[in-house]
Amino acid sequence: MSNIVAIVGRPNVGKSTLFNRLIGSRKAIVNEESGVTRDRNYGKSEWNGKEFSVIDTGGYVSNSDDIFEEEINKQVLLAIEEADVILFMVDTEIGLTDLDQNFAKLLRNIQKPIYLVANKVDTSERIYDASEFYRLGINSDLFCISSANGFGTGELLDKITSHFQTDSVESTDHLPRITIVGRPNVGKSSTINALIGEERNIVTEIAGTTRDSLYTRYNRFGHDFLLVDTAGLRKKAKVNEDVEFYSVMRSVRAIEDSDVCMLLIDATRGMEAQDLNIFHLIERNRKGVVILINKWDLIEKDNKTTLLFEKEIREKIAPFRDVDIIFTSALTKQRLLKALEATLKVYENRTQKLKTSELNRVMLEAIENYPPPMVKGKSVKIKYVTQLPTHAPSFAFYCNLPQYVKETYKRFLENKIRENWDFTGVPIQIFMRKK
Ligand SMILES: Nc1nc2c(ncn2[C@@H]2O[C@H](COP(=O)(O)OP(=O)(O)OP(=O)(O)O)[C@@H](O)[C@H]2O)c(=O)[nH]1
Ligand SMILES: Nc1nc2c(ncn2[C@@H]2O[C@H](COP(=O)(O)OP(=O)(O)OP(=O)(O)O)[C@@H](O)[C@H]2O)c(=O)[nH]1
């Protein structure tokens, strides 16, 4: 269902260079997107109209050649579990090493598409050197590329994206898909159990088998939706509890498979860096979000506690502040239904299609009252606006000089939209187009 590619390989083979190239190519395409943020390990890319996610599993592993087998294991396991296509990268400059062999041993028998990528083929002579990598016994085509200058990457991308579907299958005729995400121990399973009202058996899964997200149909209190079951994620997360990066990466698929995420924060800890990482994952995937401050029963409260808490969180998630924050307890079931209702409202917000006439009436007036600033003596004239037929809300503003419209002005337009229509919990994209 999802389109996820993971890059694995020993340190220094050039994983992040390829990662940056893949993400960079998207950045060039969508540089008009408001608030593009980047991440060392996770990003979105696009090739031939297919959007996909890239995970660089490196960078976390200590940056020396003497890394432990255990680390390799974790990296490979992560790729196997989370990715749909795996790129195993080696370095033609250095040639075949023992560490490559260790990786190969783990990767040899997995049941997912895997491609051997010989990097640093900066000149065509190096292609001949690369043939030694066939000795790794990886049953795949060998791709010779140069992450640095881009040689061979087009062919590789053609191959990778042949496994992916266009427009990663968000159909609109399905029930809302809700996922509960958050770091280890925040109370995800307790919340699911409190909502579903029974302890469920957790199916043990075997590493190396494909794991698609499981959905539980929830049909109660007049609500009907699918809860993406993160039981599998939860179980495995325990193994790597110590490792921040892995537990964030483990949320990737669950987030991609959903429409709206309930992001759980531990009230006793507040919103920390890792929580924020997950928040940004959701935002970058343009999914809806509601923030639940769980374990609220453990907090000593006075009349200002919630306000302060909320304020602090909104500062952290800025500029995307228009998000519901709900104080819950899986233990006492406090406000769980409220949280559910907010989540389903976000789904509604995210799927609404604004009427073009009304959109133009409101926005053109706002623009007239506060036009984009002149640039080099020229004035930018915005003529009309439409909502694009995308899953996540995006708006195109047609004007004479799109390149002159700055981020701050796009922010103004976004805020105006939010003031006039309810897009709470929903990331919005603003595009300026030439007309
Ligand atoms: N000549 C050449 N050098 C490259 C190429 N790709 C990457 N490099 C260089 O190889 C070195 C390592 O690249 P990284 O992308 O940091 O490697 P990595 O695999 O992400 O390393 P870790 O972060 O340690 O896992 C850097 O000095 C890069 O400039 C390439 O195609 N050709
Ligand atoms: N006081 C209190 N404890 C809670 C609440 N929610 C969960 N807990 C406790 O927090 C611990 C972790 O809860 P889980 O539901 O297993 O958390 P999880 O997010 O699924 O954890 P992982 O499986 O590690 O990802 C358990 O001991 C729960 O009993 C709550 O609202 N209040």
Q: Per residue in 227-270, pLDDT tens? A: 775 544 444 444 444 445 666 666 787 888 889 999 999 999 99
199 and 323 assigned to the same domain: yes
228 and 341 assigned to the same domain: yes
Higher pLDDT, 401 or 223: 401
Q: Which residues are annotated as a binding site for GTP?
A: 9-16, 56-60, 119-122, 182-189, 229-233, 294-297
Q: From 17, 74, 100, 147, give the residue whose CB has the most ligand 1 atoms within 8 Å, as the site to mutate.
A: 17
% residues pLDDT > 70 (the chain): 80
pLDDT at 134 over 80: yes
Ligand nearest to the CA of 146: 1
262 and 276 assigned to the same domain: yes
- Asked if this assembly's ipTM is beyond 0.90, the reply is no
pLDDT at 297 over 80: yes
**What pLDDT, on a 0 to 100 scale, did the predictor assign at position 274?**
83
The single-letter code of the amino acid at 163 is H
Does the beta carbon of 194 sit less than 6 angstroms from any atom of ligand 2?
no
287 and 397 assigned to the same domain: no
pLDDT at 330 over 90: yes
Across 124-138, 143-157, 224-238, the highest mean pLDDT is recorded for 143-157
Instruction: Give CA–CA dist 6/8, Å, rounded.
Output: 6
Instruction: Give CA–CA dist 190/211, Å, rounded.
Output: 22
3 and 152 assigned to the same domain: yes
334 and 359 assigned to the same domain: no
Out of 322, 349, 376, pick the residue that ends a domain. Answer: 349
148 and 228 assigned to the same domain: no
10 and 155 assigned to the same domain: yes
93 and 47 assigned to the same domain: yes
Work out the pLDDT band at 62, boundaries 50, 70, 90: very low
Question: What average pLDDT does range 112-137 have in this prediction?
Answer: 90
Work out the pLDDT band at 76, boundaries 50, 70, 90: confident
pLDDT at 209 over 60: no
CATH of the domain at 208: 3.40.50.300
* Ligand 1 atom with least separation from CA of 151: 31
Does some domain include residue 169? no
**What pLDDT, on a 0 to 100 scale, did the predictor assign at position 189?**
81
CA of 294 from ligand 1 middle (Å) equals 42
Work out the pLDDT band at 321, boundaries 50, 70, 90: very high
Does the beta carbon of 152 sit less than 6 angstroms from any atom of ligand 2?
no
Out of 302, 317, 349, pick the residue that ends a domain. Answer: 349
Does some domain include residue 249? yes
Nearest CA to ligand 2 atom 12: 185
Ligand nearest to the CA of 15: 1
pLDDT at 64 over 50: no
Out of 349, 372, 397, pick the residue that ends a domain. Answer: 349
* Ligand 2 atom with least separation from CA of 247: 25
Tens of pLDDT, residues 35-55: 333 455 777 888 888 888 888
CATH of the domain at 409: 3.30.300.20
Across 117-126, 183-192, 320-329, the highest mean pLDDT is recorded for 320-329
115 and 134 assigned to the same domain: yes
Q: Which domain holds residue 398?
A: 354-432
Work out the pLDDT band at 121, boundaries 50, 70, 90: very high
**What pLDDT, on a 0 to 100 scale, did the predictor assign at position 35?**
34
CA of 267 from ligand 2 middle (Å) equals 11
Does some domain include residue 170? no
pLDDT at 359 over 80: yes
Ligand nearest to the CA of 71: 1
264 and 344 assigned to the same domain: yes
Does the beta carbon of 416 sit less than 6 angstroms from any atom of ligand 2?
no
Question: What average pLDDT does range 117-131 have in this prediction?
Answer: 89
Does some domain include residue 168? no
Does the beta carbon of 329 sit less than 6 angstroms from any atom of ligand 2?
yes
Instruction: Name the domain count of the chain.
Output: 3
380 and 275 assigned to the same domain: no
pLDDT at 204 over 50: no
**What pLDDT, on a 0 to 100 scale, did the predictor assign at position 208?**
29
CA of 14 from ligand 1 middle (Å) equals 3
Question: What average pLDDT does range 126-151 have in this prediction?
Answer: 89
Tens of pLDDT, residues 181-202: 888 788 888 888 888 765 443 3
Q: From 7, 8, 13, 39, give the residue whose CB has the most ligand 1 atoms within 8 Å, as the site to mutate.
A: 13
**What pLDDT, on a 0 to 100 scale, did the predictor assign at position 78?**
73
Lowest-pLDDT range, 151-160, 246-255, 276-285, 332-341? 246-255
Does the beta carbon of 343 sit less than 6 angstroms from any atom of ligand 2?
no
Higher pLDDT, 272 or 66: 272
CA of 200 from ligand 1 middle (Å) equals 46
Ligand nearest to the CA of 21: 1
